Amino acid sequence: MNDAPAVELRAITKRFGDLVANDNVDLDVRRGEVHALLGENGAGKTTLMRILYGLSSPDAGLIRVDGRQLEIRSPRDAIAAGIGMVTQHFALVRPMTVAENLALGRVGTLWLDPADVRRRAAEAVERFGIGVNPDAVVGRLSIGQQQRVEILKALARDCRVLILDEPTAVLVPQEVEGLFATLRQLVAQGLSIVFISHKLGEVRAISDRVSVLRRGRHVGTVPGSTPEAELARMMVGRPTFGVVRESAPAGGTAPALEIDGLRVEAPGRRPVLGDVSLRVQAGEIVGVAGVSGNGQTELVEVLTGMRLPSAGSVRIGDVELAGAGPAEVMASGVGRIPEDRHACLVGELSVAYNLVLEHLDEFRRRGALDERRIRSHAEALIERFAIRARPDDRVASLSGGNIQKVLLARVLSREPRVLIVSQPTRGLDVGATEYVRRELLARRTAGTAILLVSEDLDELLALADRVVVMYEGAIVGEMSASDADIDQLGLLMAGRGQVG
Amino acid sequence: MTGQAGPMAAVRRSLRPTRWSTPGVAVAAVAITFALTAVPILLAEANPFAAYYEFLVSPLTSDFTRLEVLVGATPILFTGCAVAIAFKAGYWNIGAEGQLLLGAIAAAGIGQVVGDLPPIVALTLMIAGGALAGAAWALLPALLRVRFDIDEVVTTLLLNPVALLLVTGMLNGPWRDPVSGFPESPRIAAVAELPHLIERSRLHLGFLIALVVIGIAWYVLARTPAGLRLRATGLSPHGSRFAGVNVTRVLLGAALVSGAVAGIGGVSEVAGIQFRLTGGLSPGFGYTGIVVAMLGGLWMPGVILAAVFLGDLAVGASSAGRALGIPSQLGAVVQGTLLLVTVGLLALRRNRLARSTTPGTGAAVDSVAADLAQELAVVADPAEPEDQPGTREPGA
């Protein structure tokens, strides 16, 4: 045994195109510690751990395990080096038993003796003290128990460093306590754990040390006992950039969009949306902040007609839209720009067709498509929204910024009364980002009620009049954007702090 | 969780499938198929080049065989069109075979009882009946798909042997020929026969009907809102649903129209060639239709080219048997290999794309290929060599 850290990452850099996911990141994981990796979505936590587990290769930097420098090209290399990872999506064969799933991870034998499979599984359960029945069928286990099987799988392969990617994201609170008890016990046996999270409370509860990543950079490593406010500032802290906003026009006081008691529930899980109520007035932008996975996606899906809520109401004026399909939602004057802009266009169709797809019946002449008008319509919008494309170009061949402009053009040219916008500038370059933000502000001036969901706090504070924070499917706080306290926002997003 | 937009955008820009265009795939598939099938031809102790000459060129050297090529192309024009319509919508109808048989049963039934009607009424009734029967056979799998998300590849495929049993049941039960006792239905009335287009040739009106149906299908798909919705659904169900397209209705519609077109194909064979229902009515026209649709790139003019090409191959294979003394089943071997190679190439193209991109961005034809590749073993099997179109003797 030497005194080197269990894992050392040195100057790891990983780029995806123009985006730097990890920028010169250093990280040490000691033996027998829980080391939390804290950061917002997109901060580069998972990318860094995927590199350590061989799922992704770094552009620069090196990895040492127990002081020895290693090339980790695949998970097989990582496993051989004693590294295990449990991702958010379990790799379990649901119809098989726990013991059989454990046996699947073993290599080197052609013949499996059922008794031996059982015996080994029972031994592993015994040795690591993980409470799960080896004979249980995985598909019938709760999510928390399935997660234990995943952990057991990694441990059975003699892993000494265990990476857990947001392990609590799928768990109910009681299961979280159980998981933490298991982790403490494993650490006491000498295991090192890397715990990826963006929840301050958990990080403080379980970790010995915390490394904070922000926008691909390593901000610092601090003891697990560091105050939450300090961690929140490290995680989100950044100067807000100055945008001159006009005061909200004195539109009607009647809310244009009213959401009441909206719920989305899945059997056996905690509700993804629990009693969300929200009002957006004409000429107002309401921002929804939050780390992704806290119900924003589902909220937008309900509002755009792509998902049935379990309960609650969505009203535009007098029209009830909860449970309505996309066509009805559009017909009541709602424009929709969802987060996955690629999936909401038909990439293999032309720009011109995509621009009319929502309102095909208006471009019909004697039963056939009016190709002339479809084309002139496209030319007009390409001009007005400065889309760098020709009408006949396939949408999939455009850049991200131009794809977003196609979506914007399709929606804004209809002069919507209500706009549902999610992550409108994610992945766009500076120019396109500015363009999109200007268009949204112009719509606000024109009196559109805008609900803006974004993980980018700068964007919310620059565009929104009010900001609400979503955490675990509920709205946990609201503040006016002009006097928003970024530390307070960070605490709310991480599940801490009071309603402001 | 780290922003993937950068690489994804870059990948999308590189996604243009120019080098691997669908016509390119079709030509490459034919070339590779010939290279592969040279082996069994050599084993049959024939010169591959002479064999391919017999397969492809010699049918085009006489008026009679030229017309026979079109006769052979007629049923697979229908099934190729039927399959292409469904696939274009992203509905994998592998059941054109059964739908064609149901159309044939309807045609034989109606054809026996319309003797007192004028031909135009009789033929219209048969075509309408055949289309309805084909659509009805396609209805159950389509409902299961849109209601319960049950894979239509399996259900449509499994209904094919059921349809054949239905045919056999009719022929051994109510319709057994009272005179000869053979398991063949009574002959349809004379007014119910599709008129021949050319003296002393088997080429009948069904060929023109097929071209009209394909022409309509082409127009609707390319030029109408309904066609655009269908294409959009096939290319991106999610994007289409988001844009307000009723995806369920599109899938149901595509499935039923596909079944109806295949059903008319059955009418065409009964009323134009056999004049009665027989157990060997279809030597796998429905399955060959899949080859036609894929080779034609799910594009209606391509479907015509592919159907004529396969008709040529079928006629050539039977004459090659006589001219070179090789088994005429080699025609079936070539056709089967062609399907495997075409689908293989398309799957390869999709995988090359898929490896460098995220799910959900592949082109439609490629996803067809990948889905089909899994089913190929089953699909290729029912096409019994001795039942291939080419082996049917003219006037049989």
- 3-state SS record for chain B: CCCCHHHHHHHHHCCCCCCCCHHHHHHHHHHHHHHHHHHHHHHCCCCHHHHHHHHHHHHHCCHHHHHHHHHHHHHHHHHHHHHHHHHHCCCCCCCHHHHHHHHHHHHHHHHHHCCCCCHHHHHHHHHHHHHHHHHHHHHHHHHHHHHHCCCHHHHHHHHHHHHHHHHHHHHHCCCCCCCCCCCECCCCCHHHCCCECCCCCCCEHHHHHHHHHHHHHHHHHHHCHHHHHHHHHHHCHHHHHHCCCCHHHHHHHHHHHHHHHHHHHHHHHHHHHHCCCECCCCCCHHHHHHHHHHHCCCCHHHHHHHHHHHHHHHHHHHHHHHHHCCCCCHHHHHHHHHHHHHHHHHHHHHHHHHHCCCCCCCCHHHHHHHHHHHHHHHHHCCCCHHHCHHHCCCCC
The per-residue pLDDT for range B197-231, each reduced to its tens digit, is 988 889 999 999 999 999 999 999 999 999 999 99
What does the alpha-carbon distance between residue B36 and residue B363 come to, in Å, rounded to a whole number? Answer: 28
Chain A residues in contact with B225 by the CB 8 A cut-off are 360-361, 363-364, 369
For residues B251 and B50, which has the higher predicted lDDT (pLDDT)?
Answer: B251
The per-residue pLDDT for range B262-308, each reduced to its tens digit, is 999 999 999 999 999 999 899 889 999 998 998 888 999 999 999 99
Integer angstrom CA distances of residue B121 from A374, B133, B189, B213, B275: 41, 18, 13, 19, 17
CA A32 to chain centroid: 30
Dihedral of alpha carbons B14, B19, B22, B28, sign? negative
- Confidence at residue A462, expressed as pLDDT on a 0 to 100 scale: 85
Q: Could you tell me if B78 and B211 are in contact, meaning their C-beta atoms sit under 8 angstroms apart?
A: no
Does residue A297 share a domain with residue A181? Answer: no
Integer angstrom CA distances of residue A430 from A236, A337, A492, B94: 20, 19, 28, 49
Chain B residues in contact with A330 by the CB 8 A cut-off are 244
Length of chain B: 396
Q: List residues of B whose CB lies inside 8 A of any A CB.
A: 1-10, 12-13, 15-16, 219, 223-225, 228-229, 231-232, 235-236, 238-246, 360-361, 363-364
The candidate with the shortest Cα–Cα distance to A429, out of A448, A395, A394, A401, is A401
| B262 located within any domain | yes
Does residue A48 share a domain with residue A74? Answer: yes
CA distance B373 to chain A (A): 22
| B1 located within any domain | no
What does the alpha-carbon distance between residue B292 and residue B294 come to, in Å, rounded to a whole number? Answer: 6
- Out of A196, A219, A236, a domain closes at A236
Domain that holds residue A88: 7-236
Picking from A300, A336, A348, A397 by the largest number of B CB atoms within 10 A of its own CB, the best residue to mutate is: A348
Tell me how crowded residue B196 is: count the other CB atoms within 10 A of its CB. 14
How many alpha carbons lie under 13 Å from residue B238 in its C-beta half-sphere? 13
| A341 located within any domain | no
pLDDT of residue B364 exceeding 60, the answer is: no
Q: Are B236 and A326 in contact (CB < 8 Å)?
A: no
Does residue A279 share a domain with residue A158? Answer: no
Does residue A282 share a domain with residue A361? Answer: no
| A2 located within any domain | no
Q: Could you tell me if B126 and B267 are in contact, meaning their C-beta atoms sit under 8 angstroms apart?
A: yes
Over residues A357-384, mean pLDDT: 93
Tell me how crowded residue A354 is: count the other CB atoms within 10 A of its CB. 25
Q: Could you tell me if B69 and B307 are in contact, meaning their C-beta atoms sit under 8 angstroms apart?
A: no
- Confidence at residue B21, expressed as pLDDT on a 0 to 100 scale: 58
Backbone angles phi, psi at A259, to 5 degrees: -115, 130
Q: Are B228 and A357 in contact (CB < 8 Å)?
A: yes
- Confidence at residue A200, expressed as pLDDT on a 0 to 100 scale: 80
Of B6, B7, B361, nearest to A396 by CB-CB distance is: B361
| A167-176, A400-409, B46-55, B199-208: the lowest-pLDDT one | A167-176
| A201-210, A261-270, B129-138: the lowest-pLDDT one | A261-270
Question: So what's the ipTM on this one?
Answer: 0.78
Q: Could you tell me if B300 and B218 are in contact, meaning their C-beta atoms sit under 8 angstroms apart?
A: yes
Q: Could you tell me if A493 and A234 are in contact, meaning their C-beta atoms sit under 8 angstroms apart?
A: no
Does residue A188 share a domain with residue A83? Answer: yes
Does residue A197 share a domain with residue A54? Answer: yes
Encoded tokens for A232 = 């929140």
| A147 located within any domain | yes
Does residue A426 share a domain with residue A364? Answer: no
Count of structural domains within chain B: 1
- Out of A415, A430, A448, a domain closes at A415
| A495 located within any domain | yes
Of B5, B10, B225, nearest to A361 by CB-CB distance is: B225
Tell me how crowded residue B199 is: count the other CB atoms within 10 A of its CB. 5
Does residue A328 share a domain with residue A270? Answer: yes
Does residue A231 share a domain with residue A169? Answer: yes
Does residue A215 share a domain with residue A128? Answer: yes
Q: In terms of CA atoms, which chain B residue is nearest residue A166?
A: B1
| B36 located within any domain | yes
What does the alpha-carbon distance between residue A194 and residue B395 come to, in Å, rounded to a whole number? Answer: 78
Encoded tokens for B277 = 């229902």
Does residue A218 share a domain with residue A116? Answer: yes
| B320 located within any domain | yes
The candidate with the shortest Cα–Cα distance to A78, out of A3, A180, A6, A5, is A6
Of A330, A363, A428, nearest to B244 by CB-CB distance is: A330
Amino acid at A52: L
- Confidence at residue B358, expressed as pLDDT on a 0 to 100 scale: 36
Tell me how crowded residue B387 is: count the other CB atoms within 10 A of its CB. 15
Domain that holds residue B50: 31-391
Over residues A215-239, mean pLDDT: 83
Chain A residues in contact with B8 by the CB 8 A cut-off are 342, 400, 427
pLDDT of residue A251 exceeding 70, the answer is: no
| A357-361, B247-251, B332-336: the lowest-pLDDT one | B332-336
Q: Could you tell me if B258 and B85 are in contact, meaning their C-beta atoms sit under 8 angstroms apart?
A: yes
Q: Are B9 and A399 in contact (CB < 8 Å)?
A: yes
- Confidence at residue B265, expressed as pLDDT on a 0 to 100 scale: 97
CATH number for the domain that contains residue B243? 1.10.3470
b/e per residue, B75-85, with b = 16+ CB within 10 A? bbbbbbbbbbb
The per-residue pLDDT for range B367-382, each reduced to its tens digit, is 555 555 544 433 333 3
Backbone angles phi, psi at B283, to 5 degrees: -85, 30
| B21 located within any domain | no
For a pLDDT cut of 70, what percent of chain A falls above it? 92
Q: Are A360 and B225 in contact (CB < 8 Å)?
A: yes
| B193 located within any domain | yes
Integer angstrom CA distances of residue B18 from A403, B101, B349, B359, B366: 21, 39, 11, 20, 14
Encoded tokens for B245 = 């397209």
Integer angstrom CA distances of residue B140 from B96, B97, B252: 14, 15, 10
What confidence category does residue A461 fall into, taking pLDDT thresholds of 50, 70 and 90? Answer: confident
CA distance A189 to chain B (A): 31
What does the alpha-carbon distance between residue A151 and residue A162 come to, in Å, rounded to a whole number? Answer: 8
- Confidence at residue A222, expressed as pLDDT on a 0 to 100 scale: 94
| B311 located within any domain | yes
Tell me how crowded residue B213 is: count the other CB atoms within 10 A of its CB. 23
| A24 located within any domain | yes
- Confidence at residue B214, expressed as pLDDT on a 0 to 100 scale: 97
Count of structural domains within chain A: 3
| B265 located within any domain | yes
Does residue A273 share a domain with residue A232? Answer: no
Amino acid at B52: Y
Over residues A412-421, mean pLDDT: 92
Q: In terms of CA atoms, which chain B residue is nearest residue A215?
A: B2
- Confidence at residue A272, expressed as pLDDT on a 0 to 100 scale: 87
What confidence category does residue B352 fall into, taking pLDDT thresholds of 50, 70 and 90? Answer: low
Helix/strand/coil (H/E/C) assignment for every residue in chain A: CCCCCCEEEEEEEEEECCEEEEEEEEEEECCCCEEEEECCCCCCHHHHHHHHCCCCCCCEEEEEECCEEECCCCHHHHHHCCEEEECCCCCCCCCCEHHHHHHHCCCCCCCCCHHHHHHHHHHHHHHHCCCCCCCCEHHHCCHHHHHHHHHHHHHHCCCCEEEEECCCCCCCHHHHHHHHHHHHHHHHCCCEEEEEECCHHHHHHHCCEEEEEECCEEEEEEECCCCHHHHHHHHHCCCCCCCCCCCCCCCCCCEEEEEEEEEECCCCCCCCEEEEEEEEECCCEEEEECCCCCCHHHHHHHHCCCCCCCEEEEEECCEECCCCCHHHHHHCCEEEECCCCCCCCCCCCEHHHHHHHHHHHHHEECCEECHHHHHHHHHHHHHHCCCCCCCCCEHHHCCHHHHHHHHHHHHHCCCCCEEEEECCCCCCCHHHHHHHHHHHHHHHHCCCEEEEECCCHHHHHHHCCEEEEEECCEEEEEEEHHHCCHHHHHHHHCCCCCCC
- Confidence at residue B384, expressed as pLDDT on a 0 to 100 scale: 34
Encoded tokens for A294 = 């806290």
Strands A334-337 and A161-165: unpaired
CA distance B350 to chain A (A): 14
Encoded tokens for B21 = 């265009």
The CA-based diameter of chain B, rounded to the nearest angstrom, is 77
- Out of A184, A205, A236, a domain closes at A236
Q: Are B244 and A325 in contact (CB < 8 Å)?
A: yes
The per-residue pLDDT for range A76-135, each reduced to its tens digit, is 899 999 999 998 788 888 888 999 888 886 666 667 788 888 888 888 888 888 888 889
Q: How many CB pairs under 8 A join A and B?
A: 129
- Confidence at residue B121, expressed as pLDDT on a 0 to 100 scale: 94
